[in-house]
Structure 1
Amino acid sequence: MSLPFLSRNVTNAIAPPIPRAQAWARTYPATNEKPLLNLSQGVPGDPPHQVLVDELVQVVKEGKGVGYGPILGEEALRRGLRREMGRVYEWEGADEEESRGVEEGGNEDAEVGEEGSIVSNNNENGKGGAASIPPTWDEIGITSGCNQAFFGIMLTLCERGDKVLIPVPWYFNMLMTFQVLGITPVPLPLSPTEGFTPSVTTARKILESESNAQTGSGEQGSGRVKAIILVTPNNPTGCTYPPELIEEFADLARDYGTCLVIDETYRDFIPPSGSVSGGTDTSTLPTKSQPVAKPGKPHSLFQRPDWRNHVISVGSFSKSYKIPGHRLGFVVAGQEVMRGLTTVSDCIQICAPRPPQIALSAVLPQLRDDLAQTSARLGERLKLFKRVVESVPGWRVEAQGGFFSYVRHPFRATAENDQEEGDGGWIPSEQISKILAERCGVLTLPGAFFMPTRDDPLWTTLTEAGSVLVHDRWIRFAVANVDDEVVRRVPERLEQLNGIMVKEYGYELAP
């Protein structure tokens, strides 16, 4: 019996799925010869660079950052992140522009109000042509992780009853955010035959249908689609959306009077321009001393003259700089959105953790080479993973990128043992991941974790749309937190699973 004063939004939301998967792993009888292979969570497998560690230690020793700071983050880090964004998005003269800005005034000269909020600065967008330039430092906010950045933006944009258009499969924490806030997700089904790339044409049809069905005056809470959500490189599929496709979705958001919210947590792991994914030889990986090309350019949204009217970006320091436990994320948006986010953030966090902000602001440029090396090696590991997994009968990598590979399993019920375990006879992904963890010692996350539950009306929406996602054949493998030797051990475990599913359960191994 639930307590009558609990929020129904919270109690009706899905429970965090990671603990459920971790429980499977605890039942596996690991040995030195056959240890548990944890390919479940997308976390960095290496510690932070020593330069950052040393700086963080010094910050703590000197007692910096123990008081409240600016609600939207240390100015030095916001300026530093802007410089790094200039390199990532290839803004002309970004370093020179920012150098002039630092000379004009830094964090030490900012007027700090109650609870550390900056109450004045010299950037007024929309004046003197500022609206046609990339983001200024005060259009960047620092949050306690990207999950909080997304939660804060949804609170800033939406009221209960509003809708958002989001591709499926989706990141489960985003679904939890919608459920807690009373926001309705409108699914944009993806297809493995298209590499899980979202279709602008399909999105436009959905938006047109939603627009025609909208009730009320179009104000907040009346059922309007307030945002289009994209995650690229994607979690869970790993698919990296082409820059021109992202631009088309920004156009779509502008056309329908909504905004594009793009989660770029994995943007520093886009392959360099001209590189080709596939099963190339990975016997000689780049070493830390070898120069490598910087990751590819994600898009050109911030060079659009009107980006402030319909583009919001969120992201994380956790993956790029290997500090997930320090909880630092960011938001990039125009001033009007940032003012709303300031109110929301002051209610949630007051300020993001200050010591890692201060440390990062001092060393960001020094971490560029390490970041490029990490990205290059991860790209090679993904190729290795694809090659070895597809050597196992029936298994196929259908999308990958960032930290993840999205893999199709081959198990289907036969006429003799078909008990409606899955749509079309395919065995549900959660059952496969559970057996893979408990019996074979490989911890993954099933595709079902990134889908509506089968009793949710949104599942019916996918069925009515004829989406193959209802076959539930996909499993997410995370490869960033393991080394190449762990990846090479995976095929043997999948072969073991094949034997269990065919011999013990009587399932069919489909191509």
Structure 2
Amino acid sequence: MGSRTKATFSPPVMQARRWIEGLVFSADQPLINVSQAAPVQAPPQALRAHIAQVALEVPEAHMYGHVLGLPDLRTEVAQQWSVAYGGQISAAQVAITSGCNQAFAAAISSLTQEGDEVIVPTPWYFNHKMWLDMQGVTTVPLQTGADMCPSAAAAEALITPRTKAIVLVTPNNPTGTEYPEGLLAAFYALAAQRGLALIVDETYRDFDSRSGAPHGLFQHDKWDETLIQLYSFSKAYRLTGHRVGAVVASASRLAEMEKFLDTVTICPNQLGQYAALWGMQNLGDWLAGERLEILDRRAAISEAFPKLERRGWKLLGLGAYFAYLQHPFDCSSTELAQELVTQAQVLSLPGTMFTPEGDPNGGQQVRLAFANVDRNAIDVLFARLCSYSDKKQGDLRA
């Protein structure tokens, strides 16, 4: 018998983890894991101390909270976002969710019914595709260009009477590409004109290489009639295990999402919300340092990539936590990614996990998530990829 969950594929990160089950890596050749885009370190000591203090001294932090989130945190997001984006955002237009994935799920549940369509650029974030599958919503792929950016004109050609939303992720997962302000403005104008929701997932906004606001969408007088913004505190403050995200939308849209949120989790994790609030109010300088470290790792990849380029690889996208590559081999990226585990001690994700089944582009692409590898590890990573490439190309010539 069929089911909602059987309508989609297995979680890609879990698939990749199974590739290393039972394998033993030597001390002088340890596994370099560039498969998952999440910090593996604990939050900074001061934030952990605050969480402990709240756990001991704030009894209500252990009770059910507001379905749409801690009021003080909603207010803080509204105030900081209004300044950052130069727009007007109220606390009533902010909800806190159990991670950014839940924010997406709640938004889609409030917008669609079975048989509706949502336009999503490819390569796409696989959890977005999985949720749409499980809701019986058709994911309409929007091919990106050579610069890994989607086109609003191409998206317009895909709109049908069943289209309910367009989804953009910037900085992008999986490609790392930072969408230009003009691109976002064009998609906003298209969505507003056609009566669609524009969902903009800015999970990695804190690691954008550009200074200032990445877009001016919140400056529109009636932005909340079109725009739904998603965000994650997990990446900013290393709160992955606490599951704290946010969604910014109209109060009426949040009222619809509230039905979903109340049914699924009742309220977001309370300790995580207090942690996110404290982080926003006290860790600005620390977060700025985290951003600079990620930008330095991005620079390290740019500096190292010519070594791979000489071996036929192409760098398709780079930014936030990600480098997105095109490999030169006559094999699927799925096969390549598994070979890299045993022959180069590198765990990465193939482009087939980010593209529609049968898409030839996915078979030539690989994602490297470098959030947890510093400059030295990046040097080792590229040395291994070069060595693997030389051997594979030598084997092909033999």
Aligned to 2:35: 40
In structure 2, which of residues 329, 332, 335 is the aligned counterpart of residue 411 of structure 1? 329
What is the aligned partner in structure 2 of residue 164 from structure 1?
118
Q: Is 1:390–2:306 an aligned residue pair?
A: yes
In the other structure, the counterpart of 2:250 is 334
Q: Secondary structure at the match of 2:299?
A: helix
Does the CA-based 8 Å contact 1:398-1:408 persist in structure 2? yes
Q: Is the 8 Å Cα contact of residues 353 and 362 (structure 2) preserved in structure 1?
A: no
CA contact (8 A) 1:25 1:441 kept: no
Q: CA deviation at 1:45?
A: 4.3
Instruction: Tell me how far apart the structure 2 counterparts of residues 445 and 471 of structure 1 sit (CA, whole Å).
Output: 11
CA contact (8 A) 2:350 2:362 kept: no
Report the Cα distance in structure 2 between the residues aligned to 1:26 and 1:496, rounded to whole angstroms. 24
Give the CA deviation at 1:471: 6.3
Could you say which structure has the larger radius of gyration? 1
Match of 1:197 among 149, 152, 169: 149
Distance 1:203 1:507 in 2: 43
Letter in 2 for 1:502: Q
Picking from 214, 220, 242, the partner of 2:180 is: 242
Tell me which amino acid in the other structure corresponds to 1:439: Q
Return the offset for 1:26.
3.2
Matched, 1:266 2:204: yes
How does 1:266-415 map onto structure 2 within 5 Å? 266-273=204-211, 296-392=212-308, 393-412=311-330
Q: Please say which of residues 482-491 and 224-233 is displaced more in the overlay.
A: 482-491
TM-score w.r.t. structure 2 length? 0.95
CA contact (8 A) 2:244 2:276 kept: no
What residue is the counterpart of 1:67 in the other structure?
63
1:447 to 323, 338, 351: 351
Task: Give the direction of change, closer, same or farther, for the CA distance of 1:399–1:470 in structure 2 (3 Å limit).
Answer: closer
Letter in 2 for 1:202: A
Query: Residue type matched to 2:325 in 1?
Result: V
Of 67, 81, 85 in structure 1, the residue corresponding to residue 81 of structure 2 is 85
Q: Deviations over 1:80-137 (max 9, x none)?
A: 122221343145xxxxxxxxxxxxxxxxxxxxxxxxxxxxxxxxxxxxxxxxxx2201
CA 1:29–1:495: 2 relative to 1, 3 Å: farther
Structure 1 residue 149 displacement after superposition: 0.7
Q: State the match for 1:26 in structure 2.
A: 21
- Kept after mapping to 1: 8 A contact 2:125/2:174: yes
Give the letter aligned to residue 306 of structure 2: E
Contact kept? 2:237, 2:279, Cα under 8 Å: no
| Cα displacement (A) at 1:410 | 1.3
Q: 1:28, 1:440 within 8 Å by CA — same for their partners in 2?
A: no
1:72 partner letter: L
Q: Evaluate the alpha carbon distance shift between residue 363 and residue 206 of structure 1 in structure 2; reply closer, same or farther with a 3 A threshold.
A: closer
1:496 to 377, 387, 392: 387
Q: Does 1:229 align with 2:167?
A: yes
Aligned match of 1:155: 109
SS in 2 for 1:400: strand
Residue 326 to residue 332, structure 1, CA distance change in 2 (3 Å): same
Residue identity in the other structure for 1:472: G
Does residue 484 of the first structure (1) align with residue 375 of the second (2)?
Answer: yes
Identify unmatched segments of 5+ residues in structure 2. none
SS of the equivalent of 1:314 reads strand
Secondary structure in 1 matching 2:142: strand
Identity %: 34
The residue matched to 2:324 in structure 1 has which SS?
strand
Alpha-carbon separation, structure 1, partners of 2:353 and 2:140: 17
CA distance in 1, matches of 2:278, 2:179: 32
After superposing the two structures, state which structure 1 stretch, 387-396 or 153-162, moved more: 387-396
2:99 and 2:232 in contact (8 A); partners too: yes
Aligned partners of 1:52, 1:87: CA distance in 2, in Å? 24
Contact 1:27 1:438 in 2 (8 A): no
Q: Which amino acid aligns with 1:449?
A: M
**Letter paired with 1:380:** D
Output the amino acid matched with 2:61. Answer: G
Cα distance in 2 for residues equivalent to 1:315 and 1:499: 41
Tell me how far apart the structure 2 counterparts of residues 360 and 197 of structure 1 sit (CA, whole Å): 31
TM-score (structure 1 length as normaliser): 0.75
How far, CA to CA, are the matches of 1:43 and 1:178 in structure 2?
Answer: 23
Cα distance in 1 between the residues matched to 2:101 and 2:51:
23
User: Alignment partner of 1:177: what SS?
Assistant: helix
Q: Secondary structure, in 3 states, of the residue corresponding to 1:26?
A: coil
Q: Encode CA deviations 1:4-29: one digit per residue, 9 max, x unaligned.
A: 4xx52311311111122112233544
Aligned length: 395
Q: CA RMSD in A?
A: 1.7
* Alpha-carbon distance in 2 for matches of 1:488, 1:45: 20
| 1:440 CA drift (Å) | 1.0
Q: 1:33 to 1:319 in 2, by over 3 A?
A: same
Q: Which runs of no fewer than 5 residues in structure 1 stay unpaired?
A: 92-133, 215-223, 274-295, 413-426, 460-468
CA contact (8 A) 2:351 2:362 kept: no
The 8 Å contact of residues 86 and 219 in structure 2, kept in 1 or not, is answered as no
